[in-house]
Structure 1
Amino acid sequence: MQLIDWIVLITTLTAIVSYGAWKTRGSKNVKDYIRGGNDAKWWTIGLSVMATQASAITFLSAPGQAFHSGMGFVQFYFGLPIAMVVICMIFIPLYHKLNVYTAYEYLESRFDLKTRSLTAILFLVQRGLGAGITIFAPAIILSAVLGWNLTSLNIIIGILVIIYTVSGGTKAVSVTQKHQMGIIFTGMFIAFFLVISYLPENITFSKALEIAGASGKMEVLDFSFDLNNRYTFWTGILGGTFLMLSYFGTDQSQVQRYLSGKSIKESQLGLLFNGLMKVPMQFFILLVGVMVFVFYQFNASPLNFNPSTKIAIENSEYLDEYSRLELKKIEIENDKKIAIQKYIDTEKGTEYKEKIQELNSAEEKIREQAKTLIHKADPNQETNDKDYVFIHFILNNLPRGLIGLLLAVILCAAMSSTASELNALASTTTIDLYKRNVGEEKSEKHYVQMTMLFTLCWGILAILIACFANLFDNLIQLVNIIGSIFYGNVLGIFMLAFFVKFVKSNATFVAALITQVIIIYVWWLDWLPFLWLNALGCGVVMFLAILFQIGVPNQKNTDPQKHNI
């Protein structure tokens, strides 16, 4: 990185943090601090909801996912528009009618305190882990690529987020996320147009799509019913809908975004905006990854994009064998350039398309052999390089100054998502656990101070989780796996509360505990793709609760009192 990159990066991050802290200084009551004063417009809500979901993991992992596996990952989001409509029709009117601060308050009036507390705790567990990962994801990749200290990066990202989240609460998160999304969109569009401009003169965008298609990267839809395939149309529509209903309807990090709306209509418009924009946005991010793939069909690429693997090999006895694989890869790359050019120039496309696919398979085998050697050289070395593809392209091909901007994009995404999570974790801890279980009523100022304190505590915990985390198969999958383990169960509890009125608290509470054990067991044994865990968890908790209630038909809520906050 050059001086100009540092200037762009530091200026961008400092401006975001300072603006968020200044714009929202002086929140004195719970309504202002937790619900942002209920004055957010629909576009602020929509961008804030989008920014909360689109963490740095999205902008680091999704292009790498597309580079290796193509556009099929976009099917994961197919259930999102359906979920947005359902939430706008059912969840938002109910939350506004009850005037709640958190999603879990409703569960006490419908069931009892222990059910509310259990659901809040399930949220705190999974979102607390998620907050650590959203810090860790960009930190570990930037650390490996730039040589920055990993622990220091975790701490810096965490502290930047804590400053304005503690200072201004929900409104600080929302107003900064608008500007962060502007920076993110600007950076991604610049990256997209630059990668297109870097292709050979005779390779237009349409020809680049043809090349990607010949390599199997443009297969967007998969209508198979193969449960071993994580990303299919049916997985996205069914499993994705349950996941998105759980995430946007019951996860406080998202609920808090639209509870800050000026009215029901503003909240609904914000979520509908997200429903319309999210799939195209994700499609575009994946398309950036596909164009990076096409770029590397004409330019040399490393055998493994994780730079630390090269160091591990160079210090081992496997260097010569690894070097031979690199030479084989160069031969394949040269053959591919010829095959691609003939595929573009000739009408005999099928023959050369098969040749391109054959060479791609040969290159993939060499990459797998390289991973084996890397693992032999250092068993602790991360060989899966999906998360390093895009950052490698940025650092080695973008002009000076723009590198700083794209790094700011990654860090802004990390900050926006983490800020929402810390804000929601603190609000839930204060409202659902602390305030509800402390007998003596305190002042507004006291609860604001406690929310600030809990924000700080959750921020420190997220930093600690980030410092002790390990890189998973793919970071964007890891976040969704953690969510899927808990979300289905929580959604099922809300579905029982909304639609199955005869089921009472004890049946729901016991069913939720059993369901969580079942889902963790199913995930541990890898019986189903993780997206299906959402539908399974929702179905199991509803079935068990109904079954238990039928067995004890005269059960009443053990704590039926309404608790207004």
Structure 2
Amino acid sequence: MTLLDWIVLVGTMVGIAAYGTWRTRHTDHLDTYLKGNRNTGWVTIGISVAATQASAITFLSIPGQGYESGLGFVQNYFGLPLALIIVCAVFLPIYRKLGVYTAYEYLGNRFDKKTRLLGAIFFLMQRGVQAGITIYAPAIILSTVLGWPLKLLIVIIGVVVVVYTVTGGSAAVNLTQKWQMGVIFGGMVTAFAVLVAKLPDNSLHIAGALGKLEAVDFSFNPNARYTFWSGLLGGLFLSLSYFGTDQSQVQRYIGGAALREGRLGLMFNALLKIPMQLFILLLGALVFVFYQFQPNPPVFFNRVEWQQAVEGPHRATFVALEQRHTAAHVDRQQKLNAWLAVRENADPIVEPAARAAMVTAQANVDAIRAEAKKELIAAKPSINTKDSDYVFITFILTQLPSGVVGLLIAVMFAAALGSKAGELNALGTTTTIDLWRAWRPLAVHNEARNVRNAKIWTAAWGAFSVCFALFFSFQENLIEGTNIIASLFYGVVLGLFLVAFFFKHVRGHAVFWAALLAEVLIWGIFLLRHEIPKLNFSYLWYNVIGCFACVIFSLLLQAVLPKLKTTDGHK
């Protein structure tokens, strides 16, 4: 990175964080600290909802997903628009009418205290882990860029976001996220323009021929991770639970000026999300095409780990792999150019054979990359060989001009800080309202004390997420790992709310034990998926199974359990 890159990066990130801290430094009322300003409009709400979801993982990992697997990941979001319509029609009016701080307060009103605590704990468990991942992702970037220790960078990023989130609460989150999203969109459009300028005119044809533009799979194969059906149904339940019951999102839209503002903000995301994700995946697919024409693309995109392997005791093995990869890449280029020539001549007889030869050459390159990953594991068993998260950052650092590199790194930081701030704000709010208040009531006439307690819990969750990122590693692609963690909890939590909304005869005792049983079922499927092949299906179905299990178990238990009063006096 050049001096100009550093000026762009540091100026953007420090400027936004400092501005948010300064503007919200006098936030001393609990309602404002936890919900934000009451005059917040739909544009701010919509941007804040998008920014909380679009972490650095989105802009770091999804291009790598597009590079590796093409556009198919977009099916994950097919259920999202319908989910947001349901949230606008059902969830949001109830939250606004009750004036709750958290979604789980509603569970307490509808059922009892233990069910409210269970819903809050499920949220805190999965969102606390995900908060660690959102720190880990940008730390990978700077570790690669600077060569600094990964753990040091995790601490630095964590401290920066904790400072302004603790200072200004929800008001600071909403304010800074507007500017952060501006940086994100500007940077990604710039990267796309630079990439397209470097590509030949027939790039989309190449990507399509090599299977990178297959966005929709209508098969009913349960073992396929992404299909139209898993995305529509599993994605619907995942999105419905995320936007309807996850406090990191609920907190973004319940504090607006009116019900209309929250609804418009959510519908803004219903229209935005699928095109945005498709754009980012296409960016990754085009990066794949770009490397087809480069003289010596990486065997393994985590260049730090690869270089250590080349310089280690197994040097001969990895040098030989590099040589084989280079030869296979040259052969791939020859087959690619031959196919392009045949295609340009419009020869329908020769074209299929030329295309098949190109696809075979690509498969040879992929096989060498897979072999390289096996050798890396043999040399260093603890290594994470999922290098797709490094694809886009490698392209940024090696191909973009000075200044633009700093802007794109700033994009990753802006996304990380925006998402992280929303998560910490929600974790602090849920702990303060749903757990702390259960034992220590809020001080009715002491707003300063209430805000101080909320700040302490927000800072504590910031420390937890930093510690999690320090001591855990992630073997999945980051975006997929995040969704898998969410799917282990989201379906059951959604089931709690659906029972609350639509099955008025079910009481707290039945739904509480039903949720626990459903969660045990989901974790059993997840842990046994490799031992029992029939259980090794797409994680998106966890959301459907968990939700229906919670509802069905609730109805069964309510039918057989005596209608005893809970400790809160609810039946």
TM range (shorter): over 0.9
1:218 partner letter: L
2:319 counterpart of 1:323: yes
Deviation per CA, 1:242-281, whole angstroms, max 9, x where unpaired? Answer: 0000000000000000012111010000000001000000
User: Shift in Å at residue 472 of structure 1?
Assistant: 1.8
- For residues 427 and 401 of structure 1, the distance between their equivalents in structure 2, rounded to whole angstroms, comes to 38
Hey, what does 2:172 align to over in structure 1?
Answer: 172
Aligned identity (percent) is 49
What is the aligned counterpart of 1:403 among 379, 390, 405?
A: 405
- Comparing 541-550 and 307-316, the one that deviates more: 307-316
Deviation per CA, 1:464-522, whole angstroms, max 9, x where unpaired? Answer: 11111203221111111111111111000000000011110000111111211111111
1:21-170 superposed matches below 5 A: 21-170=21-170
User: Shift in Å at residue 354 of structure 1?
Assistant: 1.3
Hey, what does 2:204 align to over in structure 1?
Answer: 209
| Helix, strand or coil at the partner of 1:223 | coil
Hey, what does 2:376 align to over in structure 1?
Answer: 374
1:379 partner letter: P
| Helix, strand or coil at the partner of 2:493 | helix
Deviation per CA, 1:50-108, whole angstroms, max 9, x where unpaired? Answer: 11111111111101111111100000011110100000000011110111111011111
Contact 1:56 1:137 in 2 (8 A): yes
1:480 partner letter: N
User: Shift in Å at residue 439 of structure 1?
Assistant: 4.7
| Helix, strand or coil at the partner of 1:70 | helix
- For residues 128 and 320 of structure 2, the distance between their equivalents in structure 1, rounded to whole angstroms, comes to 45
Hey, what does 2:254 align to over in structure 1?
Answer: 259
Contact 1:312 1:374 in 2 (8 A): no
Hey, what does 1:275 align to over in structure 2?
Answer: 270
2:446 counterpart of 1:446: no
Contact 2:442 2:450 in 1 (8 A): no
2:317 counterpart of 1:308: no
User: Shift in Å at residue 29 of structure 1?
Assistant: 1.2
Contact 1:38 1:259 in 2 (8 A): no
Contact 1:57 1:134 in 2 (8 A): yes
2:471 partner letter: F
1:386 partner letter: S
The list of structure 1 runs, each at least 4 consecutive aligned residues, that deviate by more than 6 angstroms after superposition, is: none
What is the aligned counterpart of 1:532 among 541, 566, 570?
A: 541
Contact 2:508 2:570 in 1 (8 A): no
1:214 partner letter: A
1:192-203 superposed matches below 5 A: 192-199=192-199, 203=200
Contact 2:474 2:481 in 1 (8 A): no
- Structure 1 residue ranges without an equivalent (≥5): none
- For residues 163 and 567 of structure 2, the distance between their equivalents in structure 1, rounded to whole angstroms, comes to 41
RMSD over aligned Cα atoms: 1.5
Contact 1:309 1:382 in 2 (8 A): no
- Comparing 136-145 and 456-465, the one that deviates more: 136-145
1:347-386 superposed matches below 5 A: 347-348=346-347, 349-386=351-388
User: Shift in Å at residue 436 of structure 1?
Assistant: 3.1
- For residues 366 and 55 of structure 1, the distance between their equivalents in structure 2, rounded to whole angstroms, comes to 32
What is the aligned counterpart of 1:554 among 538, 541, 563?
A: 563
User: Shift in Å at residue 558 of structure 1?
Assistant: 3.7
Contact 1:549 1:555 in 2 (8 A): no
2:332 partner letter: K
User: Shift in Å at residue 561 of structure 1?
Assistant: 6.7
User: Shift in Å at residue 145 of structure 1?
Assistant: 4.6
- For residues 267 and 194 of structure 1, the distance between their equivalents in structure 2, rounded to whole angstroms, comes to 36
- For residues 440 and 16 of structure 1, the distance between their equivalents in structure 2, rounded to whole angstroms, comes to 32
- For residues 353 and 185 of structure 2, the distance between their equivalents in structure 1, rounded to whole angstroms, comes to 39
2:466 counterpart of 1:466: no
Hey, what does 1:184 align to over in structure 2?
Answer: 184
- Comparing 469-478 and 235-244, the one that deviates more: 469-478
User: Shift in Å at residue 531 of structure 1?
Assistant: 0.9
Structure 1 residues 169 and 466: alpha-carbon distance in aligned structure 2, compared to 1, 3 A threshold: same
> What is the TM-score normalised by the length of structure 2?
0.95
Contact 1:145 1:392 in 2 (8 A): no
- For residues 332 and 411 of structure 2, the distance between their equivalents in structure 1, rounded to whole angstroms, comes to 33
Hey, what does 2:432 align to over in structure 1?
Answer: 430
The number of residues matched between the two structures is 557
- For residues 464 and 523 of structure 1, the distance between their equivalents in structure 2, rounded to whole angstroms, comes to 25
1:306 partner letter: N
Deviation per CA, 1:177-220, whole angstroms, max 9, x where unpaired? Answer: 11111101111111111111112xxx21xx11100000000000
Structure 1 residues 517 and 561: alpha-carbon distance in aligned structure 2, compared to 1, 3 A threshold: closer
